[in-house]
Amino acid sequence: MSNLTGWKPTMEKEAKGPGLDGGAGAGGATRGLVHEEALLFERGSTGRCGVSLPPLPPGHDAGDLPAELRRDGVDGLPEISELEVIRHFTRISIWNHGIDTGFYPLGSCTMKYNPKSSEALARLPGFANLHPLAPPEACQGALELMWHLERALSEIAGLDTTALSPAAGAHGELCGLMVIRAHHLAKGNPRRKVLLPDTAHGTNPASAALNGYEVQQLASGPDGRLHPETVRAAMDEDVAAIMLTNPNTLGIFESHIQEIADLVHAKGGLVYADGANMNALLGVARPGDMGVDVIQYNLHKTFATPHGGGGPGSGPVAVRAHLAQYLPLPLVVKEGDAFRLVTSEKERPATVGKLREFWGNFAMFVRAWALIREYGPEGVAQTGRLAVLNANYVRALLKGVYNLPYETDSLHEVVFDDKLQKANGISTMDVAKRLVDHGFHPPTIYFPLVVAGALMIEPTETESKETLERFVAAMKAIAEEAKTDPDALHAAPTRTFRARLDETRAARKPVLRWKPGMKVE
């Protein structure tokens, strides 16, 4: 069908092409008018105010507060009108790439579409204006929602009970390992070590350490998988648990998981699964059926709650029945037709305690439950299938253009590297920055660590075939450019409002907040 945007779809163009100076990038990127915007603190005259508040009672002073504990006002705060605030944040927002502006194949982050209906539902006054200490009879709706979500997450994981409270994935890991520690303590010895493969995400060892565990790293095999003999060699009575991610961060299914689980269980250890990649398994396979004892979800990945530029997330933890007693409070229960939060340690003497204030990131529960309700059983399964289809489609089209370090089957994401481009002095960093000029967010780069110059691509199921093809076109154009015009690639990105930023300088002379007369040099 004829395209008359005056924009040459760059599949061909780029292939010919010494870069982008002609038409738009394969993702539609071109240049347009955006605005510079100073820091809030660098503007304007004082005495302005962007809010409208009730007056103070006549003659009110704060005299009852000791003078030395009081202050008149906070110096340095900006004073700007509502319009100026709106312009400020509207203008700077344009500098961002989001899922709503374009494809965001950030591996391991599951950047799927965030439904607008979930945003509307989470803002219903009955949810948004609810105080956490509302008596049970005044918050049955919230508790019912939490109970349904708890049931669904336990079912999807193939486990028995889920604690909703952890605030993010890493928090869920911490929680899961506390549960594991409590289990061993109850048996008399917390044990010393946690095993994890070299493909593990950084939060895994960090969470283990925060729990007082030593980390022992296991080498994954040439097929990108962890092998039973590796585990057998490392497994002993000192090992509290093994932490696996399945599919792992290479997007590869740990197909020996059950055998590994048996080995670990045989020595009294437990199996923790990092559920960040659950999108691959939704409705298709369940960690609980593979020998996993504990898993955390990332609702902000698998269940489409917004990432928000870095959170808030939500990391519920599902466990087997015998571990449920150790879960942190609160837990939601149903008694007859009524719902209740269990919050007292008297009722749950074995609990590890409490992981955060109140009950968890409730607004995320609303969004996740809305998605599950809209999907239903078939939709949940189809989500996993299409996520895997999309990743494999990209893999098939890019194979040969970029080096595929592991031939093993991919599930929801695929990892390439820059081996083929290195010859021309082009690195994964260059490829990533050039993708920006095409209008795409780069994949996750330089992770997992087992792959030098990794390009970790996770399309998610909400992206269309055409979008994937445009992304592939850009990747091919860049591979071509690496040969014909490597310098142009080093210069990328050229279309963004800021060019490549100097991260070394930022770390060498940290400037972490505005101060009057602040200098950056």
Partner 1 sequence: MRYHPHTPEDVRAMLDAVGAKSLDDLFRSIPEKLRLKRPVDVPPALDEISLFAEFQRLAGRNDVSHPPFAGAGCYPHHVPPAVDQLLLRGEFFTAYTPYQPEVSQGTLQALFEWQTFVCLLTGLDVSNASMYDGATATAEAALMATRLTGRKQIVVSAALHPEYRKVLATYLRSTHDEIAVVPFGADGRTDLRALEKAVGPSTACVIVGWPNFLGVVEPLPEIAKIAKQAGALTITATAEAVSLGLLQAPGALGADVAVGSFQSFGNPMTFGGPAPGFFATREANVRQMPGRVCGATLDKHGKRGFVLTLSTREQHIRREKATSNICTNSGLTALAATIHLSLLGRAGLSHLARLNHARARMLREAMERAGCKAIFSGPYFNEQAFDVGDAEEVVTRLAKRGVLAGAPLGRWYPDHPRAKGALLCVATELHSEELIQLFARTVRG
Ligand X SMILES: Cc1ncc(COP(=O)(O)O)c(C=O)c1O
387 binds ligand X (CB under 6 A): no
442 binds its own copies (CB under 8 A): no
Residue from 393, 419, 485, 486 that binds partner 1 (CB under 8 A)? Answer: 393
User: Under rule CB under 8 A, which residues in 178-207 are in contact with its own copies?
Assistant: none
Say if residues 271 and 242 touch (Cβ distance below 8 Å). yes
CA distance 258 to 285: 13
Nearest partner of 391 among 101, 27, 105, judged by Cα: 105
User: Under rule CB under 8 A, which residues in 89-118 are in contact with its own copies?
Assistant: 90-91, 94-95, 97, 99-102, 113, 115-116
Strand order in the sheet with 193-197: 161-163, 317-319, 294-296, 270-274, 239-245, 193-197, 214-218
Q: What phi, psi does 174 have (nearest 5°)? A: -55, -45
Say if residues 330 and 355 touch (Cβ distance below 8 Å). no
Residue 517: alpha-carbon gap to chain centroid = 36
**Helix runs in 315-398, H state only:** 362-398
Choose among its own copies, ligand X, partner 1, none what residue 42 binds, the Cβ cut-off being 5 to 8 Å by kind: its own copies
Binding track, positions 111-150, relative to partner 1; x by CB under 8 A: xxxxxxx-xxxxxxxxxxxxxxxxx-xxxxxx-xx--x--
Say if residues 79 and 43 touch (Cβ distance below 8 Å). no
87 binds its own copies (CB under 8 A): yes
State in angstroms the smallest separation of the CB of 300 from its own copies.
17
CA distance 243 to 200: 8
Residue from 25, 28, 105, 169 that binds partner 1 (CB under 8 A)? Answer: 169
Nearer to ligand X, 174 or 260 (CB): 174
Nearest partner of 481 among 445, 441, 435, 414, judged by Cα: 435
Binding track, positions 84-123, relative to ligand X; x by CB under 6 A: ------------------------x---------------
374 binds its own copies (CB under 8 A): yes
Selected range binding partner 1 among 12-20, 264-272, 319-327, 435-443, rule: CB under 8 A: 435-443
Choose among ligand X, its own copies, partner 1, none what residue 216 binds, the Cβ cut-off being 5 to 8 Å by kind: none
State in angstroms the smallest separation of the CB of 163 from ligand X.
15
Number of residues that bind ligand X (CB under 6 A): 13
Choose among partner 1, ligand X, its own copies, none what residue 517 binds, the Cβ cut-off being 5 to 8 Å by kind: its own copies
State in angstroms the smallest separation of the CB of 502 from partner 1.
5
Nearer to its own copies, 353 or 376 (CB): 376
State in angstroms the smallest separation of the CB of 519 from partner 1.
9
CA distance 161 to 316: 10
201 binds ligand X (CB under 6 A): yes
Using N-to-C axis directions, what is the helix angle for 140-157 and 362-398, rounded to 10°?
Answer: 30
Nearer to its own copies, 250 or 394 (CB): 394
User: Under rule CB under 8 A, which residues in 443-462 are in contact with its own copies?
Assistant: 462
In angstroms, how far apart are the furthest CA atoms of the chain? 79
Nearer to partner 1, 170 or 317 (CB): 170
Selected range binding partner 1 among 226-234, 267-275, 319-327, 372-380, rule: CB under 8 A: 372-380
- According to DSSP, the β-strands at 444-445 and 414-416 are unpaired
Number of residues that bind its own copies (CB under 8 A): 62
Three-state SS at 335:
strand
DSSP category for residue 425 = T
State in angstroms the smallest separation of the CB of 220 from ligand X.
14
CA distance 493 to 496: 6
Torsion of CA 384, 387, 393, 394, to 10 degrees: -150
331 binds partner 1 (CB under 8 A): no
483 binds its own copies (CB under 8 A): no
Nearer to its own copies, 96 or 484 (CB): 96
223: CB partners within 8 A, 6+ apart? 252, 406, 407, 408
Handedness of CA 449, 452, 455, 457 (dihedral sign): negative
Residue from 205, 439, 443, 448 that binds its own copies (CB under 8 A)? Answer: 439
Choose among ligand X, partner 1, its own copies, none what residue 321 binds, the Cβ cut-off being 5 to 8 Å by kind: none
Q: How far apart are the first and last CA of the chain?
A: 51
CA distance 116 to 128: 16
Say if residues 115 and 304 touch (Cβ distance below 8 Å). yes
CA distance 434 to 490: 8
Residues that bind ligand X (CB under 6 A): 108, 168-170, 201, 203, 245, 249, 274, 276, 298, 313, 315
Binding region for its own copies (CB under 8 A): 1-5, 7, 24, 27-39, 42-45, 48, 52, 81-84, 86-87, 90-91, 94-95, 97, 99-102, 113, 115-116, 374, 436-437, 439, 462-466, 493, 495-497, 516-520
